[in-house]
């Protein structure tokens, strides 16, 4: 097995953290994840202080970071584990 095939098999895992105290619930991150990313961020049923809905992760993040880039309030951080 060569180096390239070994690298291709390496699984990568990403941790997504959402700072809920800063989140207003606009769901731009959910839209970004579903249109541009891995489609794993979902709308939760829990309301933010401003009446929006918190995002929640429902699957394995692929680490594209669109949610992190597009959150207007810088609530999201994506780190490789």
| Residues that bind ligand SF4 in the complex, under the rule CB under 6 A | 16, 18, 23-29, 32-33, 37-38, 40-41, 55, 61-67, 71, 73, 75-76, 78
CB of 51 to ligand SF4, least distance (A): 12
Is residue 68 classed as helix, strand or coil in its secondary structure?
helix
CB of 1 to ligand SF4, least distance (A): 29
Residue 23: closest CA among 45, 55, 65: 55
Q: Which is nearer to ligand SF4, 6 or 80 (CB)?
A: 80
| Angular region, 74: left φ>0, alpha ψ -120 to 50, beta rest | left
CB of 27 to ligand SF4, least distance (A): 5
What DSSP designation does 79 have? E
């Amino acid at each position: 097995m060569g180096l390239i095939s070994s690298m291709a098999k390496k699984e990568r895992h990403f941790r997504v953290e959402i700072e809920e105290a800063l989140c207003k619930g606009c769901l731009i991150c959910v839209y970004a994840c579903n249109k541009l990313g891995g489609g794993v961020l979902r709308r939760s049923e829990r309301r933010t202080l401003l009446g929006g809905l918190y995002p929640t992760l429902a699957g394995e993040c692929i680490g594209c970071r669109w949610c992190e880039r597009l959150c207007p309030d810088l609530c999201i951080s994506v780190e490789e584990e």
